[in-house]
């Protein structure tokens, strides 16, 4: 059985300048994917191509195995059974909440329409709001109604373009989780576009990190954090420091933090220089450890402090410590490595 959506070797260009370069990924029915990347990386352009608003320079897009876009041709958006939710609340101000949700249901009888609107209001947790007007709703409520309106006609695929970006970080994550629950209940396949990794983690099953039009890695949030495919993903996802190391043998590397075991990148002989990714959770504060580092910055995070520590070499690393370990700036504290998988990349500049 084919995947619901297949994007294969897609290239998109504006004025002959490619902004999406050879991107391929696939989504199974019921799965939520995310295109994540910095501003201008091409994620909206790619989403618009999936919707049918942009023409491909080359490549192919298939829905249920049927080609809907290929070089220079696109099945029009209204023939794709694709729903969309945008960043700015696109509710019709002159229609009530019920009128907005019913907008795409004109093919149904009056009774069926009323039943579906009631069902969706329940689903988005706003059963008493049928006759409210959009301006009477909060931003989060408006976006919930926008989602209800988009999924009312049961699209095969729902596309969400930065739907929560005008909200503050906490509400954004909460709404992303809620909308995930709604989509999962209705078994709707969806693609979210965002530059916010926490929103992506809260909502998506699979995330594609894009940089300058190229897909760097398509993977679960867990793997992007713990097994980044390259330096860009390692820097973009989560926090951490990059240390320099030198390969000692097939299993060990020598670094500013001592000799550490890890999987040596392919083609790296002893003596090869590598970059090591060290996450804040890889470093444990331990008063009894001989390895010490100086506190240069600290940020209170409630249960924890995020310490920026300087090693004797001058390199800075990050460390979470329970907030009852309240150390002063300038103090040298004991640290211990607790690295499960050491992530390392071959340094690009070397020739050996
Ligand atoms: N209509 C257009 N004409 C010419 N260039 C465009 C057009 N739309 C987008 N671009 C360019 O294409 C590149 C990708 O834009 P796109 O909007 O897809 O990025 P994005 O990752 O969604 O960014 P953002 O998060 O800022 O919306 C950018 O360099 C942008 O300037």
- The ipTM of this complex is 0.93
Measured in angstroms, how far is the CA atom of residue 39 from the centroid of ligand 1?
8
From CA 23, how far away is CA 59, in angstroms rounded? 9
pLDDT reading at 251 higher than 60: yes
pLDDT at 1 (0 to 100): 52
For residues 92 and 103, is the Cβ–Cβ distance under 8 A? yes
pLDDT at 265 (0 to 100): 87
Mind listing the pLDDT tens digit for each residue in 219-246? 999 999 989 999 899 999 999 999 999 9
Mind listing the pLDDT tens digit for each residue in 273-312? 999 999 998 999 998 999 999 999 999 988 899 999 999 9
Where does CATH 2.40.50.140 sit in the chain?
A: 239-346
* Nearest ligand 1 atom to alpha carbon 213: 14
Mind listing the pLDDT tens digit for each residue in 150-175? 999 999 999 999 998 888 888 888 88
pLDDT average, residue stretch 195-216: 96
pLDDT reading at 141 higher than 60: yes
pLDDT at 6 (0 to 100): 97
Mind listing the pLDDT tens digit for each residue in 112-127? 999 999 999 999 999 9
pLDDT at 263 (0 to 100): 84
* Pocket probe mutation, ligand 1, options 13, 14, 20, max atoms within 8 Å of Cβ: 14
pLDDT reading at 327 higher than 80: yes
From CA 100, how far away is CA 80, in angstroms rounded? 21
From CA 331, how far away is CA 326, in angstroms rounded? 10
pLDDT reading at 351 higher than 60: no
Where does CATH 3.40.50.300 sit in the chain?
A: 5-235
Ligand 1 binding pocket includes 105 (Cβ within 6 Å) = no
pLDDT reading at 350 higher than 80: no
Q: Whose CA is nearest to atom 25 of ligand 1?
A: 39
pLDDT at 209 (0 to 100): 98
pLDDT reading at 128 higher than 80: yes
pLDDT at 172 (0 to 100): 87
Q: Which CATH number describes the domain made up of 5-235?
A: 3.40.50.300
| All residues at 6 or more sequence positions from 61 whose CB lies less than 8 Å from its CB, including other chains | 5, 6, 7, 8, 10, 49, 50, 67, 68, 69, 70
* Pocket probe mutation, ligand 1, options 13, 15, 38, 40, max atoms within 8 Å of Cβ: 40
Which of 290, 272, 304 minimizes the C-alpha distance to 332? 290
| All residues at 6 or more sequence positions from 43 whose CB lies less than 8 Å from its CB, including other chains | 35, 36, 37, 193, 195, 210
Percentage of residues of the chain with pLDDT beyond 70: 98
Q: Name which residue leads in pLDDT, 67 or 346.
A: 67
Confidence of residue 89 (pLDDT cuts 50, 70, 90): low
In the predicted model, what is the mean pLDDT of the chain?
92
pLDDT reading at 77 higher than 50: yes
Ligand 1 binding pocket includes 47 (Cβ within 6 Å) = no
For the chain, the straight-line distance linking the first and the last C-alpha, in angstroms and rounded, comes to 45
Three-state DSSP at 101 gives: helix
- Write the DSSP symbol of residue 328: P
pLDDT reading at 195 higher than 90: yes
Domain 239-346 is classified in which CATH homologous superfamily? Answer: Nucleic acid-binding proteins (2.40.50.140)
From CA 240, how far away is CA 318, in angstroms rounded? 6
Q: Whose CA is nearest to atom 3 of ligand 1?
A: 14
pLDDT at 352 (0 to 100): 44
């Amino acid at each position: 059985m084919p995947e619901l959506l297949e994007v294969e070797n897609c290239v998109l260009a504006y004025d002959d300048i490619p902004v999406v370069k050879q991107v391929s990924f696939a989504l199974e029915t019921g799965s939520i994917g995310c295109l994540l990347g910095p501003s201008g990386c091409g994620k909206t352009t790619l989403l618009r191509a999936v919707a049918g608003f942009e023409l491909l320079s080359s490549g192919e897009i298939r829905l249920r195995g049927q080609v809907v876009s290929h070089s220079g041709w696109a099945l029009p958006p209204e023939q794709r059974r694709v729903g969309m939710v945008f960043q700015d609340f696109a509710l019709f101000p002159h229609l009530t909440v019920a009128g907005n949700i019913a907008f795409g249901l004109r093919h149904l009888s009056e009774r069926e329409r009323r039943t579906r609107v009631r069902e969706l209001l329940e689903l988005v947790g706003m059963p008493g709001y049928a006759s409210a007007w959009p301006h009477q709703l909060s931003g989060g409520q408006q976006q919930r109604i926008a989602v209800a309106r988009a999924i009312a006609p049961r699209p095969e695929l729902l596309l969400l373009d930065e739907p929560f970006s005008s909200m503050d970080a906490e509400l954004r994550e909460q709404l992303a989780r809620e909308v995930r629950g709604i989509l999962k209940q209705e078994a709707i396949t969806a693609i979210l576009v965002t530059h916010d990794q926490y929103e992506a983690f809260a909502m998506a099953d699979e995330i594609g990190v894009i940089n300058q039009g190229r897909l760097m890695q398509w993977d679960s949030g867990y793997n992007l954090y713990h097994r980044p495919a390259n330096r860009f993903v390692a820097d973009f996802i989560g926090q951490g420091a990059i240390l320099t190391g030198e390969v000692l043998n097939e299993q060990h590397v020598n670094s500013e933090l001592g000799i550490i075991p890890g999987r040596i990148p392919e083609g790296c002989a002893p003596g090869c220089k590598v970059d090591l990714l060290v996450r804040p959770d890889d470093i444990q504060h331990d008063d009894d450890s001989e390895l010490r580092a100086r506190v240069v910055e600290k940020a209170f995070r409630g249960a924890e402090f995020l310490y920026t520590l300087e090693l004797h070499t001058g390199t800075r690393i990050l460390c979470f410590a329970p907030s009852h370990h309240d150390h002063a700036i300038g103090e040298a504290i004991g640290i211990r490595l607790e690295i499960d998988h050491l992530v390392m990349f071959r340094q690009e500049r070397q020739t050996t």
